[in-house]
Amino acid sequence: MDINFVIEKFILVTILFAISLVIAMYSTYAERKVAAFLQDRLGPDRAGPFGILQPLADGVKMFMKEEIVPATSNKWLFMVGPGLAMLCACIGTAVIPWGQDLTIGGKTVPLQVTDINVGVLYIFGVVSLGVYGVMIGGWASNNKYSLLSAIRAASQNISYEVAMGLSIIALLLVTNSLSLKEIVAQQHSWHWNVIYQPLGFIIFMVCSFAETNRAPFDLPECETELIGGYHTEYSSMKLGFYLFAEYINMFVSSTVMVTLYFGGYNYPGMDYIAAHWAPNAAVLFGTFIFFMKIFMFIFFFMWVRWTIPRFRYDQLMNLGWKGLIPLAIVNIIITGIWIALRQF
Amino acid sequence: MESLSNKKKVLEQKPLNLAERLYLPAIVKGLGTTMSHFFKKSATIRYPEVEREFSINWRGMHSLKRDEEGRERCTACGLCALSCPAEAITMIAAERKAEEKHLYREEKYAAVYEINMLRCIFCGLCEEACPKEAIYLDGPIVPSDYLRKDFIYGKDKLVEAPLETK
């Protein structure tokens, strides 16, 4: 392994990490602003122009708060919980292809940390690991509300992972590949997978709402029943990590949805741009388009949160097991028949 | 039995049909409703910079009035303190000296007059009780502060500015 490779990947990982954190930071701000606008209010506007420094103020507040560890908690796991939540949230971006290959000094630099051939499975693994942060934190708090919330989070994640996996199977029937780079490359120009898999996309989207514990499926942190949910006992930056991990998760799920269904860095008219612009500029413009799509999805996450009331627990389970899983299976069958017919 | 008022409404609980069970049509409708609010003018008033319009009988900070010759009207009778349901008003009376005739209208005046703005409920009973028309709640909103002691307003803050001598 030559040193250039290491440096190149190190830079890419650092940039991705920084981007994830900054987007998560400003998602908290955007969430409050979107909520405010949807409710005919103004939102935070005191810290800096238009309240743009609000995330910094919140961060400082989080760091300055007293850190309280409950006496009867499992100290070690209590500390591991938020760290694990944060770790799982951050490593998801490693397999996402952020753009086509750049050419710097005659060398091709892929805008992807690693193109493992089972990228989709990796994403799945990381997303399902994410629930461990919630579970461990909830259990280690030694508080009945936290425990109830952890149990809810675990069962919710397991239930929705099934439907999510089934919706992905239909997608894989179409793409014939598990590599995310390959999947994105196939969606050239406007051939986005959402056109071939509309039902699969809706199932996947609903499931990713549930997986990220976002409204209307935010039962693990439902204040009216469980105080703060799994982070009831957390304070200071440990609480900050949990809240932060939720926003990074939202960013990662938006990214995955764009990658799998909305063409990643592809956009109509990209051939024209590639022919007329400098090659690197065209690639970076594709990445820019990618981020715009991601921001649209993050906005959609927030828009939904401030529209739909929280599901009841039995409704959640009914929707998952009796609604989405049969639908996903039907989707697989339809896709299979369609692919079989296409080959004739 | 027949309802007498005829206002009673019996709600029927029908099982959800397929479209309702999918939630999606209702969700899309809801998303439309919230989005229509996104572009509406917000109802917020940025308070310290912008103040909302008050009604004419709005009660704000107290002011101790002067008469047409610029003398303080208050005679320290204590009726305002007595009428105050929150016991926010205290005062110490003093006798007017001969050379102070231009300062105080009555022979007795309030040497110290304090209102605790944290206790005050802005009911306006002091205004009603005052026989000398010396106190009115016609000021602005009482500003916020950091210390409790700073909310006890003395005569320096309450008494109206002296009249301009022409």
- Per-residue b or e along A138-154, where b marks 16 or more CB atoms closer than 10 Å to that residue's CB: bbbbbbebbbbbbebbb
Q: Rounded to whole angstroms, how far apart are CA atoms B61 and B139?
A: 4
Total domain count for chain B? 1
Q: Are A215 and A301 in contact (CB under 8 A)?
A: no
Peptide bond into A216 cis (omega under 30): yes
CATH number of the domain residue B153 falls in = 3.30.70.3270
Per DSSP, the three-state class of B133 is: coil
Specify the DSSP class assigned to residue B33: H
- CA of A306 to nearest chain B CA: how many angstroms apart? 8
- Asked if the structure places residue B91 within a domain, the reply is yes
Which phi and psi (to 5°) does residue B111 adopt? -75, -40
Residue A335 pLDDT more than 80? yes
The region that residue A50 occupies, defined by phi over 0 for left and psi between -120 and 50 for alpha, beta otherwise, is left
φ and ψ of A54, to 5 deg: -55, -45
pLDDT value for B125: 92
- Is B42's CB within 8 Å of A36's CB? yes
Residue A178, token pair as written in the block = 């598990």
Q: Which of A103-107, A115-119, B47-51, B122-126 has the largest mean confidence?
A: B122-126
Q: Mean per-residue pLDDT for A209-230?
A: 80
Chain A: closest CA distance from residue B82 (Å): 42
Query: What are the pLDDT digits (tens) for B120-146?
Result: 999 989 999 999 889 999 888 888 899
Three-state SS annotation for chain A: CCHHHHHHHHHHHHHHHHHHHHHHHHHHHHHHHHHHHHCCCCCCCCCCHHHCCHHHHHHHHHHHCCCCCCCCCCHHHHHHHHHHHHHHHHHHHHHCCCCCCEEECCEEECCCCCCCCCHHHHHHHHHHHHHHHHHHHHHHCCCHHHHHHHHHHHHHHHHHHHHHHHHHHHHHHHHCCCCHHHHHHHCCCCCCHHHHCHHHHHHHHHHHHHHCCCCCCCHHHCHHHHCCHHHCCCCHHHHHHHHHHHHHHHHHHHHHHHHHHCCCCCCCCHHHHHHHCCHHHHHHHHHHHHHHHHHHHHHHHHHHHCCCCCCCHHHHHHHHHHHHHHHHHHHHHHHHHHHHHHCC
pLDDT band at B115; cut points 50, 70, 90? very high
Alpha-carbon span A213 to A87, nearest angstrom: 17
Q: How many domains does chain A have?
A: 1
Mean pLDDT of all residues in B33-42: 85
pLDDT given at position A272: 81
- Using CA coordinates, name the residue in chain A closest to B40: A40
What distance in Å separates residue B41's CA from the closest CA in chain A?
7
pLDDT digits (tens, 9 = 90+) for A269-284: 777 877 787 778 888 8
Which residue in B30, B31, B38 is closest to A37 by CB distance?
A: B38
Q: What is the pLDDT of residue B166?
A: 52
The span from the first CA to the last CA of chain B, in angstroms, equals 82
Look at residues A201, A306, A296 and name the one whose alpha carbon lies nearest to residue A254.
A296
Average pLDDT rounded to a whole number, residues B49-60: 87
The residues in A 279-318 lying below 8 A from B, measured between CB atoms, are 303-304, 306-308
The number of residues making up chain A comes to: 344
> How many CA atoms within 13 Å lie on the side-chain side of B21?
11
For residue B11, being part of any structural domain is answered with: no
In a domain, B43, yes or no: no
pLDDT at B165: 59
How many other CB atoms are there within 10 angstroms of residue A130's CB atom?
A: 28
Measure the CA–CA gap between B11 and A293, rounded to whole angstroms: 45
Q: What is the ipTM of this complex?
A: 0.71
Residue range A293-304, pLDDT digits in tens: 999 999 998 898
- What was the pLDDT predicted at B82? 92
In a domain, B143, yes or no: yes
Measured CA to CA, the distance from residue A241 to residue A23 in angstroms comes to 14
Tell me which residue range forms the domain holding A93.
3-342
Quick check: A306 and B34 CB within 8 A? Answer: yes
**Residue A23: pLDDT above 60?**
yes
Q: Residue A229: its pLDDT value, please?
A: 80
Task: Pick from B23, B28, B35, B45 the residue to mutate for testing the A interface (most A CBs within 10 Å).
Answer: B23
- Segment B93-103 shows an average pLDDT of 87
Q: How many inter-chain contacts (A to B, CB under 8 Å) are there?
A: 39
Phi (first) and psi of residue B96, to 5 degrees: -75, 135
Full domain range(s) for residue B119: 63-158
pLDDT exceeds 80 at position A208 = yes
Residue A107 has pLDDT above 80, yes or no: no
Query: What confidence tier does A1 reach under pLDDT thresholds 50, 70, 90?
Result: low
The 10s digit of each residue's pLDDT in A315-333 is 888 888 888 888 889 999 9
* Rounded average pLDDT over A50-61: 88
Min Cα separation B35/chain A (Å): 7
Average pLDDT value over all residues in chain B? 86
Average pLDDT over residues B78-93: 91
A74-88, A111-125, B9-23, B91-105: range with lowest mean pLDDT: B9-23
The fraction of chain A above a pLDDT of 90, given in percent, is: 1
Q: Is there a contact between A292 and A240 (Cβ–Cβ < 8 Å)?
A: no
pLDDT at B114: 92
Q: How far is CA A199 from the centre of its chain?
A: 20
Note whether B38 contacts A306, CB cutoff 8 Å. no
Residue B129: predicted pLDDT: 92
Given this model, what pLDDT does residue A17 score?
87
What percent of chain B is predicted at pLDDT more than 70?
A: 98
Chain A CB contacts of B44 under 8 Å are: 40-42
